[in-house]
Amino acid sequence: MDEFLRITEKYDEARFQDAFASLENINAFAFAFYKDVAQIYDALTRVKNVQRNPTGFLLHDAPILGLLVRVWKLMKESIHYYEQNNAEIIAILDRPLIEAAVVARYLMMNGNELVEDYRKCSYKERLRILRDLESGVKFYETKAGNRLLKSVREKMAFEKLTPDDFETQKKNRWKIGGKTFHDIFVDVEHADFYACTYGMMSESIHGSWNESMDWCLAKNEDGTFSAYPFYHAADVRCVAPMLRFTNEPYRLWLQRIGVYGDGFRDLLDWVERVNKRLFFEFDRQYDGG
């Protein structure tokens, strides 16, 4: 717990009072806090119950842990681009961050059978690679193709999977539990949050027209468009809503591995309290711009 105490003890009431004295101060405080939250999440994925898991985690736990590691890695990278004042890259990073957090939470809300289904769903394109090999695609005669095939075969062998073990996934069209991500999101969060978070963020991946208007084009007075060659400024206020998605999966993980009572409840409650305080302070000090 020493690693966590070194972080939280920096945030006494005097620091809060100084942080909220001006917009400049609150932005600096927010950057420091969100960096520390990402570090907390990082450290939580390294916590173990040695009685339950003396070495590492088995296949019913490891996929969830992998998603939680992905969350803090993406969060750290996202905060880096906030400091670089580059909002466009952040828009690309935040979508998989939300997806990883939501899916991790969904898996922990259900049993190990769904975790197995999640693992198998990831083999959709890898099975296509094996079919392409059988149909004589020339790429797999090259060194690059052979390396790819070797990777696929090794992973399937490790999980004791054969191409005949995916009938359920094919029937469900390779959706986890037969559900779209929208359905999973609604189960885990709330339908009202989908459009303004993950839904709009999908545009950053798929290259939509609205995405181009927002980031890559300048509208001229005559109604025409020109290239916008600059990056847009980032607003650290946008991190606060992200923690709504990220905090709970780590809480569920600590409960899952049997260490939640060891001071971690207070730690994650503290993250939520400070984040909520920041959110309302931003709302109070900004004029809507």
Q: What is the pLDDT of residue 257?
A: 97
Phi, psi of 227 (to 5 degrees): -65, 140
Q: Which residues contact 120 (CB under 8 A, 6 or more apart)?
A: 161, 165, 166, 168, 169
What sign does the CA torsion over 235, 241, 245, 247 have?
positive
Q: How many CA atoms lie within 13 A of 83 on its CB side?
A: 13
User: What residue ranges do the domains of the chain occupy?
Assistant: 2-113+181-285
In the chain, the largest separation of any two C-alpha atoms, in whole Å, equals 70
The model's confidence at residue 289, banded by pLDDT at 50, 70 and 90, is low
What average pLDDT does range 53-67 have in this prediction? 97
Q: What is the pTM of this model?
A: 0.92
Q: Write the pLDDT tens digit of every residue in 103-139.
A: 999 999 999 999 999 999 999 999 999 999 888 889 9
* Cα→Cα distances 36→138, 175, 190, 260, 280, Å: 49, 35, 27, 20, 20
Give yes or no for a contact between 205 and 215, defined as CB atoms under 8 angstroms apart: no
Q: What is the pLDDT of residue 169?
A: 97
Residue (of 116, 12, 23) closest to 61 by Cα position: 116
SS3 labels along 57-95: CCCCCHHHHHHHHHHHHHHHHHHHHHHCCCHHHHHHHHH
Compute the mean pLDDT over every residue in the chain, rounded to the nearest whole number: 91
Helix, coil or strand: residue 12: coil
* Helices then strands, each counted (H, E), the chain: 15, 2
Q: Which two tokens stand for residue 271?
A: 């993250």
Q: Write the pLDDT tens digit of every residue in 177-209.
A: 999 999 999 999 888 888 878 777 777 667 788
Cβ atoms within 10 Å of 212's Cβ, excluding its own: 13
Q: What is the pLDDT of residue 190?
A: 83
Q: Write the pLDDT tens digit of every residue in 224-252.
A: 999 999 988 888 888 888 998 999 999 99
What average pLDDT does range 136-147 have in this prediction? 91
Residue 20 has pLDDT above 90, yes or no: no
Q: What is the pLDDT of residue 286?
A: 78
Give yes or no for a contact between 65 and 210, defined as CB atoms under 8 angstroms apart: no
